[in-house]
Chains A and B, each alone.
Chain A
Amino acid sequence: MSLIVQKPGLYTTVQDRGRNGHRAAGLTGGGAMDDYALRVANLLVGNEEGEAGLELTLTGPVLRAEEDLLIAITGADMAPHIDGHELATWRPVFVPAGATIRFGAARLGCRAYVAVAGGIGTAAALGSRSTDARARLGGIDGRPLRAGDAVPCGMAAGAVAPSPWATAWLAALAKRSSAAVAEGEGRPHGWAAWYAPPQAYGGASEAGIELRVMPGSEHGQYSEAARAAFYSGRYRVQAASDRMGVRLDGSPPLERIARNELLSHGIVPGVIQVPDGGQPIILAADCQTTGGYPKLAHVAAVDMPLLAQAKPGDWITFRPIGLDEAHGLYLATERSIRALEWAIRCRLPRDAS
């Protein structure tokens, strides 16, 4: 049993937390662009945080559930509806068999995530279910979803059996939903009253998204003026951005003093490289493994989920921090996710009758 794709949306892929250990073979790491949103979505349906979910981009899909499912939707706000009723997000949601989930265009943010209790049961390739469209690996035939695809999930077809926690919530929310329908409320009420705190995305606002960055390997090869312009200026996200990299535009172009070409070297998500045109590109989840452009700065890992939610036209600014501070922030986020996991696991459904 599955989620049937009626409309695929702009670019919907199966993603988990990525495929490691094969970069020496030229394989990208991949994985959810907004790793935080995927992890929280999984925790909200009682999964391990690293199960595969769906990553939706800018405009979401239309999906039909073939059986009763417990899902959670996090990340960008794409106004999800079931049979005409808007769904609550960042919490467990009951989806009755036969229901159609419709996503619209992103109102805030760029990428939304759908996790299903029990995970998504597409075959893993080289240790991950993440879709790598370049190598045509993972997901469904290594490509984004198409109309007519069946995404395996639920009791029999998921990656694992839904946890007892998920099974209890599914039963309680199903009961709540049918009670509401019986009382003629029209609204299914098939979701938990509590929720995980949503992330704040400042993209469209004048202040923009602030990304904290560390100096890159070639930071010193840029003039004082270029560095000052980089930290004080505002950059606009270009339409040509994708899972490989987020392209930015701001003036003036950043000029490098040194002119020597660099030998190809390893690159990873977060690198801010500046090709000859002088406009920066921030490398993202599906970036190539090696590159040759100079690296001006590097986005702190803790802020990569914010970058994932930057959509074309959004504004980005940069603030310098040190490496130790970046590690401290990373650790703090990790702790808050562990705390959230405990808070969620401790929430058991009260009898809904």
Chain B
Amino acid sequence: MNWTISPLGDRALVAELSVEAAGDSWVQVGAAADWLRQANVPWIIDLIPAYTTLTIMYDPIHVWKLAAQRNGLTVYEMAVRTVQGLLESVGNRSEQTARWMDVPVCYGGEFGPDLEQSAERSGMRVEQFVQAHAAGAYTVALVGFVPGFPYLAGLPAQLAQPRRDNPRARVPAGSVAIGGGQTGIYPLDVPGGWQLIGRTPLRLFDADKTEPALLRAGDIVRFVPIDEERFLALEAEEAAARER
């Protein structure tokens, strides 16, 4: 892997994967983020993996103390040297070794009010459209926009949808949606402009968990179609688990 490191202000730096790695760059960026997280570097404050970049926030005071022990190194040089060393030792991650996650989805009806129109725009029958969406393996390219929202790469080109002209004031949590060439899942009730094709009973964001987001960059997601009865049963299970 070839990483280029540059500063992002005086408390962060950006490691960017070289262009050749594009394609599955988010799998590699996710792997690098996990690796750095496990390395438990005391002066790394936070990490933001996204598409081709990994942003690393650091504590300049802590790094300065380390740099002071190494004559002549600036804070930035010290931080870059350490991060470079860690990135060089990240193993290559393939689809086999990534974390897989099955996400049950009830497509259409009140859970996916834009499904029929979306299928029509793609020139498909509704069942074909659902099949095509559920057949893919998607990679989490980044988690952002709102807490826990996964941007999923790997949508078949035929399923791409324009964003709505008038964004909804409230998209229900769990909604599975398509915006442009990406698909995603709304973790909270928030305003949103993507086309809603279904809903999952899974909770994408839970602040009571030590890892509050269900998905992280680099994970591979498969959608599993379920009917409404199964949706309600799984939703009840989730609610019961939260009570405990």
How near does chain A come to B31, taking the closest CB pair, in angstroms?
13
One digit per residue, 1 when the CB lies within 8 angstroms of any chain A CB and 0 when it does not, for chain B 40-71 equals: 00000111111111110100110010000000
Nearest residue, chain B, Cβ from A21: B46
Residues of B within 8 A of A265 (CB): 14, 50-53, 55
Asked if B2 is at the interface of the complex by the 8 Å CB criterion, the answer is: no
Residues on B with beta carbons closer than 8 Å to the beta carbon of A330: 10, 60-61
Rounded to whole Å, the gap between the CB of B26 and the closest CB of chain A is 10
> In the complex, what distance in Å separates the CA atom of A32 from the CA atom of B74?
28
Which interface class (under 10, 10 to 19, 20 to 34, 35 or more) fits B?
35 or more
Bound-state CA distance A301–B10 (Å) is 7
Q: Which residues of A contact B9 (CB under 8 A)?
A: 214, 268, 270-271, 298-301, 326
Question: What is the CB-to-nearest-CB distance from B198 to chain A, in angstroms, rounded to a whole number?
Answer: 21
Contact B11 A268 (CB under 8 A): yes
| Residue from B46, B146, B147 within 8 A of A20 (CB atoms) | B46
Cβ A323 vs Cβ B8 within 8 A: no
Known A-B contacts A266-B14, A268-B8, A268-B9; the reply to A27 vs B212 at CB < 8 A is: yes
Q: In the assembly, what is the distance between CA of A21 and CA of B50, in Å? A: 15
Question: Is the interface on chain A under 10, 10 to 19, 20 to 34, or 35 or more residues?
Answer: 35 or more
Bound complex: CA A300 to CA B60 (Å)? 12
Hey, which chain B residues are within 8 Å of A23, CB to CB? 46-48, 57
Residue B143 is within 8 A (CB to CB) of chain A in the complex: yes
Contact digits for B133-173, partner A, Cβ 8 Å, 1 yes 0 no: 00000000011111111010000000000000000000000
Is the Cβ of A263 less than 8 Å from the Cβ of B212? no
The A16-44 residues at the B interface (CB cut-off 8 A) are 20-27, 29
Structural contact, A263 and B147, CB atoms closer than 8 A: no
For the complex, give the distance between the alpha carbons of A24 and B143 in Å: 6
Contact B147 A27 (CB under 8 A): yes
Residues of A within 8 A of B7 (CB): 214, 323
- CA of A60 to CA of B8, assembled, Å: 34
| List of A residues within 8 angstroms of B61 by Cβ | 330-331, 334
- Cβ–Cβ contact B146 & A134, under 8 A: yes
Give me the interface of A with B, judged by CB distance under 8 Å: 20-27, 29, 125-126, 134-135, 137, 214, 217, 263-268, 270-271, 288-290, 295, 298-301, 323-324, 326-327, 330-331, 334
Listed by A's residue number, 9 A-B pairs whose Cβ atoms lie within 8 Å are: A21-B45, A24-B49, A25-B211, A126-B207, A265-B51, A295-B8, A299-B9, A327-B75, A334-B61
Residues of B whose CB lies within 8 Å of any CB of A are: 6-12, 14, 33, 45-55, 57, 60-61, 64, 74-76, 142-149, 151, 188, 205, 207, 211-213, 216-217
